[in-house]
Chains A and B, each alone.
Chain A
């Protein structure tokens, strides 16, 4: 009742190219993220993390979860192409429903933060779905941080992001990149929770990563 909720979404590429080292790393890191969040009660009380996997289609692997009610953490599996459009469409639908449910339950949600992770260029035309998601006419439009490694182009990541994009540097191993990504996601959740538990200056409640080891930071450039 009237809880202040910080919603976070991990939107993760599950295309065939992610098979092996990349998805293994993410699957290893996810339980650790949840464990870390659970170990800090200030964070655990207010942060909720949901997971969407996308390849040819997109699916909600873990609905926006309250740590108290979490049963088990899903595994990501490689299964198809790379449809950004499917991801953004599902994300918009999911966010809309989740924010509505939170409000109906009497809670006060903050603007959702999305950590988008991909290793390749999209295999579809995704701009319409992306626009629907980030448009100011969609009231709970999320803040998107885009992380990429492998074949994805920096420019694409910049278009996806609304705040910042992170491109893995050449020569960085996928598992390294993924571990750093997981660390940034966790830091953002924890620092945002801490910041929102007392008055910050000028409205900057959420804490977003400013840099990531092995990544180059780029400004967002949504189309």
Chain B
């Protein structure tokens, strides 16, 4: 997809193409359907971004085509905050499909991470601080559930946070913490590398499964990962709505191609790119891309 070289002028507006289909054409269409008929409905998509010294961020959380078809709410959420002068906190969350208020859980978890981050940073021991952070997030979820008179399990969500330490002229360290099946990948010279050791295994002879840990229940199942971000490299955080289609070689190659360009995409272009379609991969999809420029 070519970048527009000049701003559009009257009579020469380019048309935006349909999202790219990778593989066979899905029978399921990619368009919003009914609006979710709930008081705390969320919009179809959130798009966010930042251009900071040495760092470009593009982020989007997109309602899945299945949710669009059924008129049900997007259950993914994300958060992006600058902390102090040289830290960035990014998080993604995936509310469990079978849980009625998990969209509230996912959004709450992201906000709770930000609220509790000062305490995390003040912690002495990483392992202890990480577990405490997830306990705090879970407590916030339980409080919210209690306030609404529902079981805390109804707000169940996976959660992944990344803390980027942006110190000039050095390799940037990224700390990754998660409960559940959201993932982080490092893009370097067109190659994707998983950041969590647990994600490194190749496709085994096993069949697919959808089991995942989630908050507030599984605070004892925290994975810790790390990455180093050097100039020209990118870190991707995503929910499994993106991890699953990325199991396909064609998808990995296309994303690597788009996201290895000398300049990161604009916000509209990023939203278009992330809207690519793969048959059967119709879940909510959330991605935060962090380019070190």
Contact = CB atoms under 8 A, between A and B. Distances in A.
Partners in one complex: yes
Interface of A: 1-5, 41-42, 44-46, 67-68, 99, 106, 108-111, 139-140, 194-203, 205
A70 to B, nearest CB: 12
Given A45-B282, A201-B98, A106 B208 contact: no
A172 to B, nearest CB: 32
B182 to A, nearest CB: 10
10 contacts: A1-B249, A4-B280, A5-B280, A41-B26, A111-B207, A198-B67, A199-B181, A199-B283, A200-B97, A203-B209
B278 A42 contact: no
Given A68-B27, A201-B99, A2 B278 contact: yes
B56 to A, nearest CB: 29
**B-side interface mostly:** loop
Contacts of A205: 208-210
B23 A2 contact: yes
A198 B281 contact: no
A139 B210 CA distance: 17
Interface in B34-80: 64-67, 69-70, 75
Contacts of B244: 2, 4, 108
Contacts of B99: 201
A67 B65 CA distance: 19
B275 to A, nearest CB: 17
B24 A197 contact: no
B208 A46 contact: no
Most buried by A among B205, B211, B251: B211
B214 A41 contact: no
Interface of B: 22-24, 26-29, 64-67, 69-70, 75, 94-99, 153, 156, 158, 181, 205-212, 214, 240, 244-245, 247-251, 278-284
B97 A1 contact: no
Contacts, number: 118
Contacts of B75: 198
B280 A140 contact: no
B208 A110 contact: yes
Contacts of B65: 42
Most buried by A among B69, B70, B207, B244: B207
Contacts of B29: 41
B97 to A, nearest CB: 3
Nearest to B252: A2
A200 B207 contact: no
A1 B278 contact: yes
Given A4-B281, A195-B97, A41 B210 contact: no
Nearest to A108: B208
B206 A139 contact: yes
A45 B280 contact: yes
A194 B64 CA distance: 12
Given A5-B280, A197-B97, A41 B27 contact: yes
A45 B98 contact: no
Contact of B282 (A42, A140, A200, A202): A42
Contact of A1 (B98, B158, B248): B248
B125 to A, nearest CB: 31
A200 B23 contact: no
Contacts of B248: 1-2, 106
B207 to A, nearest CB: 5
B104 to A, nearest CB: 15
Contacts of B284: 198
Task: Please list the 6 inter-chain residue pairs (A to B) with the smallest Cβ-Cβ separation, ordered nearest first.
Answer: A198-B97, A2-B248, A203-B211, A1-B23, A41-B28, A41-B27
Contacts of B283: 197-199
Contacts of A46: 279-280
B192 to A, nearest CB: 14
A2 B280 CA distance: 9
B120 to A, nearest CB: 26
Contacts of B206: 139
A97 to B, nearest CB: 15
A99 B98 CA distance: 27
A2 B247 contact: yes
A137 to B, nearest CB: 12
A201 B27 contact: no
Given A2-B247, A199-B210, A139 B97 contact: no
